[in-house]
């Protein structure tokens, strides 16, 4: 917005200066002088068009005998060069320099050829033209170097972040994975021996075994996420159909329904949606004893809604067990500013519904 106001101020100032300096006596003279300056309003959006417009208006008011410097054309040369149009700037400048004496010759002043060349030299000094072009090129190069420096800083920061992420993954794998595996294996062995002897397996031991399995699974998922890179990008909405197909291959009658118009959603929302469907299908396979599952993805203007229903053994009066997977889903959804509902259905079975905002900042 500030740049826009600056362009308006420069254009108005140049137009006023040309009108005052030229003190034209005819309406076409006023129009050409004012148009030459006001054309600069669009110098950032359409520099080539502004170069042509200021050049033609300069020739026009010179042909009317208005002897003032072609200030607007110099601004246009600067803007066109800054935009990177070097060839167009040079060609346009040469054409205007060559045409100015001709415009002066046809002016009402009836100038001689030498006087026309002298007048054209006065209104457009070659040094001014070179200075305007050089200033535009210098600023363009400075901006390009600044962009390259910023990109280099971003690439360096990304590389360091990737190195740190892989370092964390290695540390987790070398230490925590081993300890959790020991706990899980010892608990499974203890449960197996107790069952083999026909003894009742203590509930705390079963809880340790199940918690160990869940912790190992979550840790593997975390390590996979930490090790994800550009060659192995995280899963998103496009991969949900594969999840459903794999669930069907296990004997579950899983059906995927997509509603609404497919819109671009933030990558984080797509990853979270995939994880919600993945975790829901995993829970159905492990705990629900369900025959069918319905997955619905609803694209709305301001939100993405994911709903997973099953016909498992959960009853309306059954309090859901907030396991690690459900807690992980809730944390992911909350981090994105969304909501998650997970509860038994009235008709039996279980429902997981998440609503994720998709508005981009």
Look at residue 231 in the predicted model and tell me its pLDDT: 47
The closest of 350, 343, 360 to 309, measured between CA atoms, is: 350
Element spanning 351, H or E: strand 350-357
Mean pLDDT, consecutive 10-residue segments, the chain of 361 residues?
A: 78 86 80 88 90 88 80 88 90 86 75 72 75 87 83 76 74 71 82 85 82 75 64 74 87 91 83 89 83 93 93 79 70 84 89 85 39
Look at residue 129 in the predicted model and tell me its pLDDT: 82
Look at residue 141 in the predicted model and tell me its pLDDT: 87
Give all strands of the β-sheet with 339-344 in edge-to-edge order. 253-259, 292-299, 303-310, 350-357, 339-344
**Helix, strand or coil for residue 26?**
coil
Look at residue 16 in the predicted model and tell me its pLDDT: 87
Element spanning 361, H or E: none
Look at residue 299 in the predicted model and tell me its pLDDT: 93
Instruction: Report how far residue 273's alpha carbon sits from residue 334's, in angstroms, rounded to the nearest whole number.
Output: 13
Q: With contact defined as beta carbons under 8 Å apart, do 272 and 340 qualify?
A: no
Contacts for 37 with CB less than 8 Å, ≥ 6 apart: 11, 12, 13, 14, 15, 16, 17, 18, 19, 71, 72
DSSP 8-state symbol, 320: P
CA distances to 32, 93, 310, 311, 352 from 294, in Å: 70, 69, 6, 9, 11
């Amino acid at each position: 917005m500030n740049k826009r106001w600056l362009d308006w101020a420069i254009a108005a100032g140049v137009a006023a200066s040309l009108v005052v300096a030229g003190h034209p006596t005819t309406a076409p003279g006023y129009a050409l002088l004012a148009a030459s300056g006001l054309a600069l309003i669009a110098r950032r959006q359409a520099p080539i068009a502004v170069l042509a417009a200021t050049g033609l208006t300069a020739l026009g008011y010179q042909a009317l005998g208005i002897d003032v410097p072609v200030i607007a054309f110099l601004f246009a040369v600067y803007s066109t060069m800054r935009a990177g149009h070097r060839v167009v700037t040079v060609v346009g400048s040469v054409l205007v320099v060559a045409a100015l004496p001709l415009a002066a010759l046809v002016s009402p002043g009836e100038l001689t050829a030498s006087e026309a060349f002298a007048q054209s030299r006065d209104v457009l000094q070659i040094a001014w033209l070179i200075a305007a072009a050089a200033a535009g090129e210098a600023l363009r190069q400075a901006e390009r170097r600044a962009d390259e420096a910023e990109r280099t800083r971003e690439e360096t920061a990304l590389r360091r972040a990737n190195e740190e992420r892989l370092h964390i993954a290695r540390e987790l794998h070398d230490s925590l994975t081993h300890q959790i595996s020991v706990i899980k294996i010892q608990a499974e062995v203890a449960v197996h021996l107790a069952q083999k002897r026909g003894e009742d397996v203590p509930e705390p031991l079963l809880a340790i075994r199940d918690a160990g399995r869940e912790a190992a699974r979550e840790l593997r998922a975390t390590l996979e996420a930490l090790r994800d890179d550009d060659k192995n990008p995280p899963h998103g909405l496009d991969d949900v159909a594969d999840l459903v197909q794999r669930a069907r291959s296990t004997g579950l009658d899983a059906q995927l329904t997509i509603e609404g118009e497919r819109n671009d959603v933030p990558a984080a929302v797509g990853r979270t949606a995939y994880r919600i469907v993945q975790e829901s299908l995993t829970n159905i396979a492990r705990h629900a004893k369900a025959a069918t599952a319905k997955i619905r993805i609803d694209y709305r203007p301001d939100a993405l809604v994911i709903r997973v229903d099953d016909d498992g053994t959960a009853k309306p009066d059954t309090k859901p067990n907030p396991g690690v997977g459900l807690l992980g889903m809730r944390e992911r959804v909350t981090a994105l500013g969304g909501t998650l509902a997970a509860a038994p259905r009235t008709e039996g079975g279980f429902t997981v519904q998440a609503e994720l905002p998709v508005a981009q900042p």
